[in-house]
Structure 1
Amino acid sequence: MTAIEELKGIVYKSLKDLWEYEVDQDAILINETRSEFEGDYTVVVFPFTKALRLPPPKIAEMLGEYLVEKENNLIAFNVIKGFLNLTFSNDYWKSSLSDINTDKKYGFHPANGKKVLVEFSSPNTNKPLHLGHIRNILLGWSSAQLLEAAGYEVVKAQIVNDRGIAICKSMLAYQLFGNGTTPEKSGTKGDHLIGEFYVKFETSFKEEYAAWQETAEGKEIYEANKKEGEEEVHFYGRYKNTYFNTYSNLGLQAKAMLLKWEEADEETIALWQRMNSWVYEGFEQTYKELGVHFDHNYYESNTYKLGKELISDGLASGVFYKKDDGSIWADLEDVGMDQKIVLRSDGTSVYMTQDIGTAHIRYEDHGCDRMVYVVGNEQDYHFEALFEILKKLDEPYAHELFHLSYGMVDLPTGKMKSREGTVVDADDLIADVIEEARLGSKSRGELDNITKEEQDEIFRKIGLAALKYFIIKVNPKKRMTFDPKESVDMQGQTGPYIQNAYVRIQSILRKSENLVEARDVDYKELESIEIGLIRKMEQFSAIIEDAAEKLDPSNMANYCYDLAKMYHRFYHEFKILSAESEEAKQFRLKLSEAVAQILKTGMELLGIEMPERM
């Protein structure tokens, strides 16, 4: 139990004893005492004034006197207007430190009997994972880890977008331009190879479209459909999708391939399976590098069929309606939205089709109390519609769905575009940050006395910490810019800065002796920063709970930074191995050991490893 939790219980009991006044314990407001005032925690008494019919300073004075008299752990109080500042005894803080040192799972919550499924990554098999996927993966993984630490049973899942028109674009380009190449023949990682064919299709389509604009047919359509005052460039940008679906030779071939796929044409399916297998091998290499894995993989090529069945049932029951062209729609106007297509007129599915099927089968597989979708904010409307449709279908889980929406990631050079081949692939970015870590470490020369293999492992941990922390520290809803050079800065709010605090402690502990048999019982006068560090570590459990419930890993990332920053300051201001007394030395070693433990655990919840040296 943390000091705040304990204090809430004490204040609750004291209000009852003093005034026979009962208040919701969770409603009692207690904060850390501001640095300009004396005390550890502050009780806000203003909410009690109406019921007690006393001025706030009087309530605070009477409550403070009672608490200090009755509670051994409280040794002093002071009142600033309606705020009661309380001071805990040094023995309390030493006891709390002992609890942290002896509990390797300190801060973790007991099992609460609830199950959550977290869906993240969810890649397309027409291109490799890129920087945007990395933010998705890191948010999904760290949220799942935090939920587990908060007491939930967690299922980590992904839905692989392995079918659809985008996949057929890569397949068609391979048929037209591939000349039988393979990852082995080309020396290219499988997902990268397929991504090159996706870009090739888009490049070829752009050339085809530009040529068509110069034809008599293209100019005639322009004259017949342009809006008054509309420039040619704007018209053709607006008309591109219509051209793809109606006139484009490449577009018609891709659509024909999609129909063949849905009809289970053997040749088409064989090509699809071969190309997807190359992509999956590539994905697994990237996942391994990022240190993530999944409990259950779902594939749209399976779930869209169930989605069609559910839509057919919904059409029969009146949840959906059919338009004259044969397409099927959901009317969501009663919930403030518009109509949403769930099946095309030619019978082929849309994203909504497979999402309906996926949600249903996941509930059947796992019976989760809650499902979390980690998807970028450009899909906000889609998920609002999906959740409302599932409610209309009376799916039992429909009211416990959550979209963890996040902003896009840019680079200092600007926005990325998959179709133009300007995306920064995840593998290249990982290699870049590891190289940045290598260059930074070499300039300091601190690893010259260990083997190259040991150095490479340290560089890997530093580089990945730089990448992961820089992305996770930003609130998910915010758009962000990732700067590889800034991410490895040892002096900024970065992963390596936090790792450095942990490594510094490991170096101290290696030089220390008799830590296990330490006698710090006679260390009486704790420094304010020592109490501050223990108080900060006591918050770890609450930070886990808050980050998990809000699905915001940035809370944990910022907590780890604050703790590391406080320890760096402590290290520079106070001696440890050459402390003023043996008791002070042993206490500070225990304090350092506890800080290292909390930092390591907190960063591991974010998927970040701690090196022993840097």
Structure 2
Amino acid sequence: MNFIVTLTLQAIKKIYGEEIPESTVTLQETRKEFDGQVTIVTFPFTRFSKKSPEQTGADIGEYLVANSVDIEAYNVIKGFLNISLTDVFWLDQLDKQILKKDVGVLRRNGRKVMVEYSSPNTNKPLHLGHVRNNLLGYAVAELLNAAGYDVVKTNLVNDRGIHICKSMLAWQKFGNGETPSSSGLKGDKLVGNYYVRFDQEYKKEIASLMEKGRSEEEAKREAPLMMEAQTMLRKWEAGDTDVIKLWEMMNEWVYDGFEKTYKKMGVNFDKIYYESNTYLLGKDIIEEGISKGVFFKKDDNSVWIDLTGEGLDEKLVLRGDGTSVYITQDLGTAQLKYNDYHMDNSIYVVGNEQDYHFKVLFLILKKLGKSWAEGLYHLSYGMVDLPSGKMKSREGTVVDADDLMADMIDTARNRTEELGKVEGFSGPEKEALYEMIGLGALKYFLLKVEPKKRLLFDPNESIDFQGHTGPFIQYTHARIKSVLTKGGYKAEIIKAKPAILENTERDLIKEIVKFDDMVASAAENYSPSLIANYVYELSKLYNKFYHEVSIIKVEDIQLKNFRLNLSAATAQVIARGMKLLGIDVPERM
């Protein structure tokens, strides 16, 4: 709508003799209870018009109508000038912006962005929390790619540390040589079982020591299992051959399991980093920081940074014995990633419990003078809760990602068969549809909410063909495809235009032509929820259009072709929007 801004600037110069910056003209979508499609806020103009907001709006409105063939009327409500655009304008927009192969694909902008997501631990399978992380990271990457960025999708796997050794030690003690092949379990599930087993046996040892008079803290520290796990970690860091061999074997089990889960979930990566390769990085950066006076040493030789001037605190960046802490390796890994890809922006998709950590990390990199630190961003997201409460990995109460996806597919199967939406489908076609609906419901439910918000995931609510859900949108797409088939529509642009648009037609066109702007906005804000909610509103508008006008039974062949064309354009945008979220839509249901 840039022409409206340009024309408004001309009106202000002509009527009031003022030249103002383009940013002063604010356009909004007109509220549904008022006539018009575009609203101009007139309050900022009263300082030089010396008139009321209403009269100022009337002055500008008259100029716009007189000087544009695309603007047919205006009305002023308080300080808001509502503009009505002609049907010819909307039809021209329809011709220009829809039924093109690259709908929702913006021009390349020459900028590179890295999106890091997933970041699992190799001591347990992926769970519901990881599902939100993966879906969010993947969707943001897809949106940025559509918005013109060169995108690199990365995954930093946490494959070392005491938690990994807990699983290894438990398998060594209690596994009796069990493998994924012998147990029939996916490798990540098998390893996760031993992480739970460690915790169970560890608690027994703590209880036993406390019965002998130890305090709880003493018991936790002196429990034989924990001491053995710590010994194993030291051996791993020293390169002990047997420990490394065990670590490699169990990690391979986990990676194989992860790959199956990622494939089912529909996410992927361009580059995988491993903490076992990066945990020693960062020490050179610490030395650099000391020489620049960014860091300081304490009497015990530990290295710190003073961030009290920024409202934070003093932060340890290297222990006195020279060993790394998390921030050390994160500094080094950030530098490694930049060296590898020289990206303009780097997005870390990590839960909001790490907000403070990333605030410190980015601040340190800026103080070190890293030019690329300005492009770092923590995409912080809220946790996912279930009606049954919180999840704990070590106690085995997490909702496993594989089980969740399987349950969603089963729920979709039951719900779809109840509604009789699979008549004429073969067995394999039914199963493919159930998977599409079940996973679509899961993905849409988790992505329709703003990332920063904590959410309560209700599997039953997510599969509702009439609610604010993925299946409702998928069913709308299938409905449109059915209309096109019954109407004999051919996949080509038909230049058929009615003399006058029905309100539902105009509303539908107006929504469709917003799609490219919505993609740009969703990418800029790293918010797939903008696209999720946009596609839902578009689907609602189509259903209203479907119920209020005749499409394939209308006698006027030109009008029929136009409405089929409008239906095809809607289906195209729905499919493209859902694809950006990693969701497929069915051709029929």
Change in 2 beyond 3 A, CA 1:516/1:464: closer
Pair 1:165-2:159 in alignment: no
Matches within 5 A, 1:368-379: 368-379=343-354
Change in 2 beyond 3 A, CA 1:410/1:450: same
Distance 1:546 1:509 in 2: 31
Pair 1:262-2:259 in alignment: no
Q: State the shift of 1:518 in Å.
A: 7.6
Change in 2 beyond 3 A, CA 1:371/1:411: same
- 2:399 equivalent in structure 1: 424
Change in 2 beyond 3 A, CA 1:481/1:276: same
Q: Which amino acid aligns with 2:577?
A: G
User: Which whole-Å deviations, capped at 9, do the CAs of 1:202-225 have from their partners, x for residues lacking one?
Assistant: 111111111111113x0xxx4xxx
Q: State the shift of 1:51 in Å.
A: 1.9
Change in 2 beyond 3 A, CA 1:567/1:339: same
Q: What secondary structure is seen at the aligned counterpart in 1 of 2:267? A: coil
Change in 2 beyond 3 A, CA 1:364/1:522: closer
Q: What secondary structure is seen at the aligned counterpart in 2 of 1:305? A: coil
Distance 1:505 1:373 in 2: 38
Pair 1:382-2:357 in alignment: yes
Q: State the shift of 1:125 in Å.
A: 0.5
Q: State the shift of 1:6 in Å.
A: 3.0
Matches within 5 A, 1:29-428: 29-216=26-213, 218=214, 222=215, 236=216, 239=217, 243-244=219-220, 246-428=221-403
Q: Normalization by structure 2: what TM-score?
A: 0.96
Q: What secondary structure is seen at the aligned counterpart in 1 of 2:377? A: strand
User: Which whole-Å deviations, capped at 9, do the CAs of 1:323-351 have from their partners, x for residues lacking one?
Assistant: 45554433322221122233345544332
Q: Which amino acid aligns with 2:435?
A: R
- 1:554 equivalent in structure 2: 529
Distance 2:175 2:3 in 1: 68
- 1:581 equivalent in structure 2: 556
Pair 1:613-2:580 in alignment: no
Q: Which amino acid aligns with 1:455?
A: K
Q: State the shift of 1:610 in Å.
A: 0.8
- Does 335-344 or 315-324 show the bigger shift? 315-324
Q: What secondary structure is seen at the aligned counterpart in 2 of 1:397? A: helix
- Does 491-500 or 340-349 show the bigger shift? 340-349
Q: Is the 8 A contact 1:332 1:340 kept in 2?
A: yes
Q: Is the 8 A contact 1:430 1:463 kept in 2?
A: yes
- 2:460 equivalent in structure 1: 485
Q: Which amino acid aligns with 2:174?
A: F
Q: State the shift of 1:110 in Å.
A: 1.2
Q: What secondary structure is seen at the aligned counterpart in 1 of 2:450? A: coil
- 1:597 equivalent in structure 2: 572
Change in 2 beyond 3 A, CA 1:327/1:199: farther
Distance 2:180 2:528 in 1: 37
Q: What secondary structure is seen at the aligned counterpart in 1 of 2:61? A: helix
- 2:547 equivalent in structure 1: 572
Pair 1:531-2:506 in alignment: yes
- Does 541-550 or 277-286 show the bigger shift? 541-550
Change in 2 beyond 3 A, CA 1:517/1:196: closer
Q: Is the 8 A contact 1:473 1:558 kept in 2?
A: yes
CA RMSD of aligned residues (A): 1.9
Distance 1:115 1:196 in 2: 40
Pair 1:6-2:17 in alignment: no
Distance 2:497 2:168 in 1: 74
Q: State the shift of 1:497 in Å.
A: 0.5
Q: Is the 8 A contact 1:518 1:586 kept in 2?
A: no
Q: State the shift of 1:466 in Å.
A: 0.2
Q: Which amino acid aligns with 1:449?
A: G
Q: State the shift of 1:419 in Å.
A: 0.8
Q: Which amino acid aligns with 2:23?
A: D
Change in 2 beyond 3 A, CA 1:519/1:103: closer
User: Which whole-Å deviations, capped at 9, do the CAs of 1:440-494 have from their partners, x for residues lacking one?
Assistant: 1111222131211111111111111100000001111111111111111111110
Q: Which amino acid aligns with 2:484?
A: L
Q: Is the 8 A contact 1:118 1:154 kept in 2?
A: yes
Q: Is the 8 A contact 1:520 1:584 kept in 2?
A: no
Change in 2 beyond 3 A, CA 1:80/1:117: same
- 1:442 equivalent in structure 2: 417
Change in 2 beyond 3 A, CA 1:577/1:518: farther
Distance 1:136 1:455 in 2: 29
Q: State the shift of 1:414 in Å.
A: 0.9
Distance 1:126 1:355 in 2: 20
User: Which whole-Å deviations, capped at 9, do the CAs of 1:45-77 have from their partners, x for residues lacking one?
Assistant: 221111232332332222222212221111222
Distance 1:531 1:505 in 2: 18
Q: Is the 8 A contact 1:259 1:348 kept in 2?
A: no
Q: Is the 8 A contact 2:391 2:398 kept in 1?
A: yes
Q: What secondary structure is seen at the aligned counterpart in 1 of 2:280? A: helix
Change in 2 beyond 3 A, CA 1:453/1:60: same
Q: What secondary structure is seen at the aligned counterpart in 2 of 1:198? A: helix
Change in 2 beyond 3 A, CA 1:342/1:516: closer
Change in 2 beyond 3 A, CA 1:318/1:171: farther
Paired residue total: 589
Q: Normalization by structure 1: what TM-score?
A: 0.92
User: Which whole-Å deviations, capped at 9, do the CAs of 1:126-182 have from their partners, x for residues lacking one?
Assistant: 111100000001111111111112222111111000111111111111111122221
Q: Is the 8 A contact 2:154 2:270 kept in 1?
A: yes
Matches within 5 A, 1:504-543: 504-513=479-488, 515=490, 521=496, 523-543=498-518
Change in 2 beyond 3 A, CA 1:296/1:516: closer
User: Which whole-Å deviations, capped at 9, do the CAs of 1:551-581 have from their partners, x for residues lacking one?
Assistant: 1111111111111111112111221111252
User: Which whole-Å deviations, capped at 9, do the CAs of 1:352-388 have from their partners, x for residues lacking one?
Assistant: 2221111010000111111111111111111111112
- 1:227 equivalent in structure 2: none
Q: State the shift of 1:395 in Å.
A: 2.2
